[in-house]
């Protein structure tokens, strides 16, 4: 059975965020990190700004992609897997798009790409978002959708937390 990992970098304090994230990915054996954020870049360009570039942002130099590459982990940004309405904590727009049987929304294209990546051995994939809590993050909906649609429920989903890798069997959610 294949495994899909997920991680929310908010699980680590900002002072230890990148180190904790890298350690968690290495412990799980992740080889490809798939960024599911709609906007992985800093919202300000001034590094002195609170909203300026940080290690976990996508940047022209430095930042997440470079740190991952140094550890031998491939970085891939699949914007199609992002929550289409970030001001919708109930994720109604994403749920509506996932339920649309026509499959013409970007999320459907992203799910197909994700399924192909998971099947392409020897990749060990992990979905990334900023949210600390798996249960309330859109990455849970994405992980469960790819499991149910492309793997008939036969895909293990494991969340990487700040303390350990949390294991769950197929068909159950992670706490």
Q: Is 145 in contact with 155 (CB distance < 8 Å)?
A: no
- Read off the pLDDT of residues 20-69 as tens digits, 9 standing for 90 and up: 999 999 999 999 999 998 765 555 566 776 555 555 655 666 778 889 99
pLDDT given for residue 45 in this prediction:
66
What's the predicted TM-score (pTM) here?
A: 0.84
Q: How many CB atoms lie within 10 A of CB 77?
A: 19
Domain 2-40+59-167 sits in CATH 3.40.1130: no
Average pLDDT over residues 132-137: 92
Nearest-10 crossing angle of helices 106-119, 92-99:
70
**Residue 96 and residue 107: Cα distance in Å, rounded?**
11
Residue 172 scores a pLDDT above 60: no
């Amino acid at each position: 059975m294949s495994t899909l990992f997920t991680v929310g970098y908010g699980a680590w304090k900002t002072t230890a965020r990148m180190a904790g994230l890298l350690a968690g990915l290495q412990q799980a054996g992740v080889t490809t990190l798939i960024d599911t954020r709609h906007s992985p870049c800093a919202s300000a360009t001034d590094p002195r700004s609170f909203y300026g570039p940080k290690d976990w942002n996508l940047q022209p130099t430095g930042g997440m992609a470079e740190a991952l590459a140094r550890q031998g982990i491939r970085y891939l940004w699949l914007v199609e897997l992002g929550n289409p309405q970030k001001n919708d904590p109930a994720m109604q727009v994403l749920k509506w798009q996932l339920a649309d049987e026509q499959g013409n929304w970007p999320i459907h294209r992203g799910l197909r790409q994700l399924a192909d990546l998971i099947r392409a051995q020897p990749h060990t994939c992990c979905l990334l978002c900023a949210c600390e809590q798996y249960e309330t993050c859109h990455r849970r909906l994405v992980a469960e959708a790819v499991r149910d649609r492309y793997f008939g429920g036969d895909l293990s989903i494991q969340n990487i937390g700040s303390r350990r890798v949390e294991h769950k069997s197929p068909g159950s959610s992670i706490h």
